[in-house]
Amino acid sequence: MEVVTVKLKFVGGLSSILDKREDEVSVPKGTTVKQLLNVLGTRYGEAFRNRIWSLQGGLSSDCRVFLGQDDITNSGLDTEVKSGGITLFFLQGMAGGAL
């Protein structure tokens, strides 16, 4: 079976709960970004899943997913991840502070 290696970068709250800013994962060729997020949920556990997914089952509104420089949060979760320098950035919004 052919696999694709995906480089991951975590920013904000995600890097804090995972205690890392970067990682790499291999998935079968043909895997979509949404399927990759489910694989990562299994790999990183409940804290990751709770940050990524909303209670309604969609992507959390304060989480952004980038494929290279393209924000695919709302339009590209069915995009197939491909080999060769693919980087997914997971940006988690941070709240707090006074106005």
Cα angle for residues 60, 64, 68 (degrees, 5° grid): 150
- CATH fold group of domain 3-92: Ubiquitin-like (UB roll) (3.10.20)
Burial class (CB in 10 A: 0-12, 13-18, 19+), 47: middle
φ, ψ of residue 16 in degrees (nearest 5): -70, -45
Question: What confidence score (pLDDT) does residue 38 get?
Answer: 93
- Residues of the chain with pLDDT > 90: what percent? 24
Confidence of residue 28 (pLDDT cuts 50, 70, 90): very high
Residues 63-88: tens digit of each pLDDT:
888 887 788 888 888 988 876 545 55
Closest Cα partner for 7 from 67, 63, 48, 54?
67
Domain boundaries, the chain: 3-92
pTM of the model: 0.81
pLDDT at 98 over 80: no
Cα Dmax for the chain: 53
Q: Exposed, middle or buried: residue 2 (CB in 10 Å: 0-12, 13-18, 19+)?
A: exposed
